């Protein structure tokens, strides 16, 4: 299929490393037989229409209060909600499929073990050192931490209850790569049974704008729908933490706190950063997944890598040790994205387990980065030198899938 679309300006910066033709040959761009989502599962109550709002001005202070689920925004129209349905059905599968719920059980209920602060950096001044690690580990590869019937019911019940105190809003973001964030929402009551706070989840309106566009191919639309689904599940992980943990300080009648103190999110297993949304992506999806080049219409495909990889560390997130200097960014094949939007695939997840939603590592793009650096070819922290570790890499820094490279002895997964 021709991928030279005259109205699409392709990024030049990475062309020599990962061209559109390489991506198309791998199947990461246009699927010849792409089909729109056929998911029919119910939408989880967290994502119900009445929980959604929209705020389309970038000035929070210049408009009168809205009438949406959160006060500064307006209700999302029925037409817009209709556009979200495929994403919300997919997101709902991630929140209801039993083999994918151990992560949520751990986040909501597992004991949190205080860590010695030694070796942990980026702990915010004045914040409570509530960072912790989970005591029970699970191996999603073997699903050895399958939940008991009681644990499963408890987790499903808690996730449903979060629908009463989790609000979602589309709003403008300054940075197109800033896909979402979640804030504590002090003036709304948290759902019964939770000691923490309600929250609102802000999602970049550019993703809604992409879905409103009439110019997307079926494959592009599937990618936007897929990425939006991941974004809203990622943020629910933060919502779950906020519902589970109370703010410390003196509460005011307005719901805010005097001398407020945050409780940090926990480290999950051996993760090096304490960030529950990325921990979900890493542990369940096999890596952090974003649109290539940060394009909200996902025109250049989707990429993923072992988190934090080239995303580096944030000064706001407690960190245990520096990330490795090497990372491989993988292209996400469209057959995988397409499958996610079929009931048949989710029957396979039910039958064969959590491995079915882990992104396959095939075509990769290997890079060296200084800890904390971003992906930028001009950044001196990145080199295209491709030595070591036995990965077959061509002169352009492209790591080829096994079958094309002659099946190296080493596994492909070197993150």
User: Which residues contact Zn ion (rule: CB under 5 A)?
Assistant: 277
Under 8 Å between Cβ of 133 and 269:
yes
CB of 80 to Zn ion, least distance (A): 24
- Beta carbon nearer to Zn ion, 22 or 290: 290
CB of 253 to Zn ion, least distance (A): 31
| Chain position carrying tokens 């099946």 | 407
- Beta carbon nearer to Zn ion, 262 or 384: 262
CB of 237 to Zn ion, least distance (A): 7
| Chain position carrying tokens 């974004």 | 231
Q: Select from 31, 80, 37, 33 the least CA-distant residue to 225.
A: 37
Q: How many residues does the chain have?
A: 415
If you ran DSSP here, which 8-state letter would residue 388 be given? Answer: S
- Beta carbon nearer to Zn ion, 90 or 276: 276
CB of 397 to Zn ion, least distance (A): 28
Dihedral (CA of 103, 288, 222, 344) sign = negative
Under 8 Å between Cβ of 155 and 147:
yes
Dihedral (CA of 275, 279, 282, 288) sign = negative
- Beta carbon nearer to Zn ion, 219 or 283: 283
Closest residue by beta carbon to Zn ion: 277
- Beta carbon nearer to Zn ion, 277 or 323: 277
Q: Residue 244 is encoded by which pair of tokens?
A: 């589970």
* Integer angstrom CA distances of residue 111 from 107, 226, 342: 9, 32, 36
CB of 275 to Zn ion, least distance (A): 5
Omega before 107 within 30 of 0, i.e. cis = no
* Integer angstrom CA distances of residue 383 from 12, 230, 379, 387, 399: 17, 30, 9, 11, 15
CB of 120 to Zn ion, least distance (A): 18
Q: Select from 21, 36, 345 the least CA-distant residue to 219.
A: 36
- Beta carbon nearer to Zn ion, 102 or 277: 277
- Beta carbon nearer to Zn ion, 291 or 333: 291
CB of 289 to Zn ion, least distance (A): 13
């Amino acid at each position: 299929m021709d991928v030279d679309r005259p109205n699409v300006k392709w990024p030049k910066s990475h062309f020599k490393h990962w061209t559109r033709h390489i991506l198309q040959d791998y199947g990461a761009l246009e699927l010849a037989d792409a089909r729109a989502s056929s998911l029919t599962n119910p939408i989880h109550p967290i994502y119900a229409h009445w929980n959604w709002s929209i705020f389309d001005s970038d000035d929070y202070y210049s408009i009168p209060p809205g009438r949406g689920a959160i006060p500064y925004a307006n209700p999302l129209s029925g037409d817009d909600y209709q556009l979200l349905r495929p994403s919300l059905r997919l997101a709902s599968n991630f929140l209801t499929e039993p083999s994918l719920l151990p992560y949520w059980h751990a986040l909501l209920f597992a004991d949190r073990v205080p860590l010695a602060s030694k070796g942990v950096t980026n702990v915010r001044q004045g914040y409570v050192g509530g960072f912790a690690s989970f005591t029970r580990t699970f191996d999603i590869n073997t699903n050895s931490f399958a939940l008991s019937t009681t644990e499963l019911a408890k987790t499903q019940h808690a996730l449903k209850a979060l629908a009463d105190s989790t609000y979602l809003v589309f709003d403008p973001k300054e940075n197109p790569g800033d896909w979402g964030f979640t804030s504590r929402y002090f003036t709304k009551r948290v759902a019964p049974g939770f000691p923490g706070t309600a929250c609102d989840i802000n999602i970049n309106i550019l993703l809604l704008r992409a879905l409103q566009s009439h110019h997307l191919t079926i494959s592009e639309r599937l990618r936007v729908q897929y990425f939006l689904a991941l974004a809203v599940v990622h943020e629910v992980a933060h919502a779950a933490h906020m519902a589970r943990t109370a703010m410390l300080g003196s509460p005011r009648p307005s719901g805010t706190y005097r001398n407020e103190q945050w409780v940090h999110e926990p480290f999950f297993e051996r993760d090096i950063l304490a960030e529950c949304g990325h921990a979900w992506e890493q542990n369940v999806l096999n890596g952090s997944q974003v649109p290539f080049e940060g394009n909200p219409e996902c025109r250049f495909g989707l990429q993923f890598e072992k988190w934090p990889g080239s995303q580096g560390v944030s000064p706001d997130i407690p960190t245990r040790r520096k990330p490795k200097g090497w990372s491989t960014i993988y292209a996400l094949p469209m057959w995988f994205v397409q499958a996610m939007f079929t009931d048949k695939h989710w029957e396979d997840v039910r039958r064969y387990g959590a491995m079915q939603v882990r992104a396959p590592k095939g075509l990769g793009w290997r890079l060296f980065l200084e800890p904390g650096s971003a992906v930028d070819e001009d950044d001196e922290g990145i080199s295209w030198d491709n030595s070591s570790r036995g990965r077959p890499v061509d002169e352009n820094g492209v790591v080829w899938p096994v079958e094309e490279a002659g099946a190296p002895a080493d596994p492909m997964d070197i993150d």
